[in-house]
Amino acid sequence: MTAADRREAILEAAVEEIARNGFAGATTADIARRAGISQPYVFRFFPTKKDLCLAVIDRCLSRVLRDWESAVPKPGETRLQTLGRTYVESLPERRAELMVHLHAYASAEDPDIAAAMRHHLARIFRYVVHQAERDGHEHPSAAAHQFLATGFLINAAMAIGLESELRPEEWSAICPADKVARVDDRLQHTAS
């Protein structure tokens, strides 16, 4: 393994451990074990556990923008519709990253985690405002607010499996059913 491969393996393992146990509960020993390396080797790449946690936040939230920047609109879609579809379609295979987002919000009493989340959420908000401007929205900030509010509801719903409690028509009012697998499909995908 190259150093870059090991760093990537550490980050992937950290995403899974943080998703499962939160920032406080994820240990560098468990992360190292999951990555298939020794615990001291983790610290060669990340001098402290907090450095690793901040790198995980950066990785997970930066991916949202990277995915949006490479999204290809379907015929007739507005830019905001493309962003929403792209995000929702990727959620089933990115459940661990979603949980990292939520754990980061829950860990915002740590000033460094709060600062990282403010930075990334500001970037995301500004990007959505810009796309709303390009779509010709009369009030792009309001459109971005509505778009992100819906996104937060979808994130919370997916994290807790709300779609399993709602009738299909209720769930599709939040998130079109053809874009996100129902909870039982997600669990089968995660297990395989």
**Which CATH number characterizes residue 70's domain?**
1.10.357
Nearest to 60, CA basis, from 87, 97, 102: 97
- The DSSP code for 47 is S
Residue 178 located in a structural domain: yes
pLDDT per residue of the chain (192 residues) written in tens, 0 to 9: 799 999 999 999 999 999 999 999 999 999 999 999 999 999 999 999 999 999 999 999 999 999 999 999 999 999 999 999 999 888 888 899 999 999 999 999 999 999 999 999 999 999 999 999 999 999 999 999 999 999 999 999 888 988 889 888 888 888 764 544 443 343 333 333
Judge whether 23 and 113 are in contact, CB under 8 Å.
yes
- How many domains does the structure of the chain reveal? 1
Residue 18 located in a structural domain: no
CA dihedral 121, 58, 179, 177 (to 10 degrees): -60
The pLDDT of residue 190 is 39
Tokens in use for 19? Answer: 């998703």
Residue 118 located in a structural domain: yes
Residue 15 located in a structural domain: no
pTM, two decimals, is 0.86
> What single letter denotes the amino acid at residue 1?
M
The pLDDT of residue 149 is 94
Enclosing domain of residue 153? 50-191
